[in-house]
Chains A and B, each alone.
Chain A
Amino acid sequence: MWMYVDDPVPFQPAETPDWVSDWLGRRRTTASAPKSAPPNSGEDKSLTAAMRTEPEKPNDPKAEARKKAAAEKRAQETEAALKGAADDLEQWIGDQLRTGLSAFLEDMTDRCRAIAARLVDGKAQALASRLDELPALALAYPGEERMQLVVRELGKIVLLLAAWRQSPADPELRRMIATSETRDSLFENPNAQKVTSVWEVVGEDISTRRDGMVSQATWLMNLQSSGPRFAVLLDFFPASLGKRSSAVVMGEQLHAELVFYPASHPLRAVLGERKSAPDTPLPWPEIELQSDPLQSFLEIQDVAPWTGVAPAVLPEGRYCKNGPETWWQSVDGQIALPVKNAPDPHTAGFQLQSSFGLWDGLRLTLLCARTNWGRVQLNG
């Protein structure tokens, strides 16, 4: 501008260069910029014209083929990225064993974060989250059990990777490695199991993950005989949104259809159509004192050994002391399981007529119970 003031001769009116038009065309239109008038089509607006059906464009076989080829290429790239990530992860796990898990335990947060970042690059988001959460999971256990948990978790990941290599198209395995199906595609999936029953909301597990997302797992128990015995509704939302109100209330019994994600042992589901709630609350299924409360856990391990936790309904029992630890023990004293979430002192004095919890192979997280003081939530 100063040059123009000094000597305006070089600045003569001329045609707008192409690069200027191009640049202006790429600029974002701002609210303050004057909008140009729409080009006059030469026709008046007409309702008849608007309602006139547009002639269908003829299919362009070349375009379709291009699209299909692009999709196939993307799928191949994804497969290649996932395989690369899986190779890297196996190599990384081997390295941890070779260099010693004691060193890993001291530095697991940084190490897990680094491999999780690599897995995200390799499009294995689900595996990345699992690795990213491993340190927090391990640190929730006392020293000796921390090592057992790490071995168990890494071993399960190895199993998962091996299974996925055998059948990479399996939706359950793909869900645990990469991403889940969308809700809409689940409803459209003819293989998705749909179960209408009376469900009781028996527990909720809310945790903030390292990636800033809040994971909300709502556990439901089937109070009627048919279909899967348990279901879990999983929801993820950014922690910055604060606490979300849930579609269901703790302790509520709802008559609803659940659509289960296809799996060898269906557990994860989404809430479908809700029907009117039962007039009178249904009781929990009878549990025999002699039955093994971890039987359902073992059954899940048989068909899906990569599963970390499984729900369990426990027969009548009591909280017990074992030094600084709290255990659950059946009233006949035959079964005893260590409890992860230590109860309040007064809750420890409740008589647990039947309880619902999650067993992770090492400890039991009790979520709710029917007690001599009525139904109580046991996890916060």
Chain B
Amino acid sequence: MVDLSQFVERIQSRWMVGGSAQEQAPEAWRSLASQTDNPDLSLLALVAQAAQVGLRPAPAKDLQPYPSLPKLDLPPVSDAQRGLFRRIFLLVKPTREQSDLLLSFLAARGFTSHPADFMPANMENLPACYAPWEQWSERQEADLSELSATSWDDFMPSERVHALRQIRLNNPSAARDMLVEKAAELPAEQRLRAVQVLEIGLGPNDAPHLNKLLETDRSGKVKALAQSYLARLGLQQDEGDAVSELADFLELGKSWIIRRKVTVRPKKLKTSAQHKRRADLFEAVSLNGLATALELAPDIIIAGWQFSNQREDREFFDMVARTGSDDAVRSLMDRILESGEVQLHVIGSLLDRLTPADRWARLPAIMKQDDELMEAVLACARHRLGDLSLDVLSKSLQVKSLIAKIKEQAKSDKAGAYDHVLRPSLFILGLLADPQAATALIDTFIEAGLSRADAALLVLQFNAALPSGDIK
């Protein structure tokens, strides 16, 4: 017995090579086709129609349903705002870093991206609420609160880090014990990110594990991290001749105003080789080690450092950020902001060391100094996006500078002359402001000369339209 699909297949095979397929057709079709002027064309019509209505494709094997995309803890942006959100991606075309910031801003307001509008390709730097999406198709959803030494392998790397951070905040020793037991199995990059969790609540109890990492870990980066954490605890290793060599590159003096105050400044060097050597030493030596070599307390060095030029300041700041205690970092940061002499783009490493609360507290001072792309402002507000008031923003140098540039652009013949500055700055501003400030800033910028339809205003408009969600 030959069924319909076999007949169709035989006839098609014949036509594939060419020639009449009457022989391959069933008797009924053949007699029907033979009554027409062109039997082959009639057979073609019969085959086409029979295949169309009589046959249905069937899967070769059992179908495997795709796993469901997990729902996140925070709801997606509501339908009313999704259009604006999509327009940001369509017209502004944010970079990956900007996209990550936009999603962090959304999370701060209590929302997440709708997957049909934007699905982040990489969840590494996103808020923890996105962890369930990471490679969801490969595995079942896991509860982040259940991370333990036994469930360690069930978690994706970024989920693991998020979970470890939560555990470390509530129970530092439990997180450390888990690291001691499991971190060695991780590849170097993942191990580095896992060990960085120890930065939260770093204390003397962590020293044995850090010493062990310093002695036995295979990764140079992990060793360097362990060394810097030990230095922050005042437990630096023997730094040999390097500290005294660095001390020789610095000169001590007395303040002109307060004679008893010690000043520390970098010596003027003659050759680039000397500059390079000093930079290398700053990278190798700890603040406590340098203090010992100079026979001064670390806080005296911080208080006495004379701001000179960007390069030497950055080298010193990076050393303090890497090896100084939390108090030392805070003191140096306050001195920098008080002085107003330092370009803010060299303080990134120090900002990274501050807690979110410390950064937020210093934000108004930074906003009065940073008139560029607001990187420092963003670094300070990263944990409280969408929360800056109009009062703070309107006094800031950035907003004043932006208004001036918009006015200048409106007057000039060249449309979009300052777009390269305005667009990224307004993007960041849109993430910083609270809804009321965003609304007021839109009006201010339009008054200054920007068109309401300008894509540069989209993030501010999105911010103004986005209500606060349930979770903040």
Contact = CB atoms under 8 A, between A and B. Distances in A.
A240 interface: no
Given A97-B44, A100-B18, A319-B66, A151 B12 contact: yes
A349 B64 contact: no
B169 interface: no
Nearest to B41: A158
A336 B12 contact: no
Interface residues of A, number: 53
Interface string A84-98: 000000100110011
Nearest to A338: B57
B295 to A, nearest CB: 61
Interface string B90-119: 000000000000000000000000111001
B325 to A, nearest CB: 45
B107 to A, nearest CB: 18
Interface stretch (A20-28, A124-132, A369-377): A369-377
Interface residues of B, number: 44
A348 B66 contact: yes
A97 B48 CA distance: 13
A154 B115 CA distance: 41
Interface in B31-68: 38, 40-42, 44-49, 51-53, 56-61, 63-68
A350 B63 contact: no
B101 to A, nearest CB: 21
B137 A99 contact: no
B51 A152 contact: yes
Given A94-B40, A151-B15, A322 B63 contact: yes
Interface in B64-95: 64-69, 71, 76, 79
B2 interface: no
B311 to A, nearest CB: 46
A373 B116 CA distance: 8
Contacts of B71: 372
Contacts of B257: none
Given A301-B49, A376-B116, A98 B17 contact: no
Contacts of A374: 76, 79, 114, 116
A361 interface: yes
A39 to B, nearest CB: 52
Contact of B18 (A98, A155, A337, A362): A98
B68 A102 contact: no
B187 interface: no
B66 A97 contact: no
Interface string A341-380: 0001111111100000000011100000000111011000
A318 B69 CA distance: 12
Contacts, number: 142
Interface in A327-342: 327, 329, 333, 336-338
Contact of A349 (B18, B49, B137): B137
B15 to A, nearest CB: 5
Contact of A377 (B38, B47, B116, B137): B116
Contacts of B51: 148, 151-152, 361
Contacts of B56: 294, 337
B1 interface: no
Nearest to B60: A322
A346 B76 CA distance: 14
Contacts of B57: 337-338, 362-363
A376 B116 CA distance: 7
A327 B63 CA distance: 8
A155 B11 CA distance: 13
A147 B60 contact: no
B16 interface: yes
B305 interface: no
Given A148-B12, A154-B44, A327-B59, A373 B114 contact: yes
Contacts of B52: 152, 301, 305, 361
A350 B67 CA distance: 9
A156 B115 CA distance: 40
Nearest to A325: B59
Nearest to B21: A97
B69 A346 contact: yes
A373 B69 contact: yes
A13 interface: no
Given A101-B16, A152-B52, A93 B115 contact: no
Contacts of B79: 374
B136 interface: yes
Interface in B396-435: none
A99 B20 CA distance: 10
A57 to B, nearest CB: 52
B208 interface: no
A233 B17 CA distance: 40
A47 interface: no
Pick the most buried of A318, A333, A344, A346: most chain B CB atoms within 10 A of its CB: A346
B69 A147 contact: no
A159 interface: yes
Contact of A336 (B18, B20, B63): B63
A321 interface: yes
A319 B44 CA distance: 34
Contacts of B63: 320-322, 327, 329, 333, 336
Contacts of A301: 49, 52-53
Contacts of B21: 97
A155 B115 contact: no
A100 B69 contact: no
Contacts of A350: 68-69, 115
A211 B256 CA distance: 84
28 contacts: A93-B41, A97-B15, A97-B19, A98-B20, A98-B40, A99-B18, A100-B16, A100-B19, A103-B18, A151-B15, A151-B48, A155-B47, A156-B48, A158-B42, A305-B52, A318-B65, A322-B61, A323-B61, A327-B63, A349-B66, A349-B67, A349-B68, A350-B68, A361-B52, A363-B57, A372-B71, A374-B76, A374-B79
Q: Can you list the 8 inter-chain pairs with the closest CB atoms, starting with the nearest?
A: A155-B48, A100-B18, A349-B69, A320-B63, A348-B66, A361-B52, A158-B45, A376-B116
Given A158-B42, A318-B66, A373-B114, 7 more contacts: A98-B18, A101-B15, A101-B16, A148-B12, A162-B45, A322-B60, A348-B137
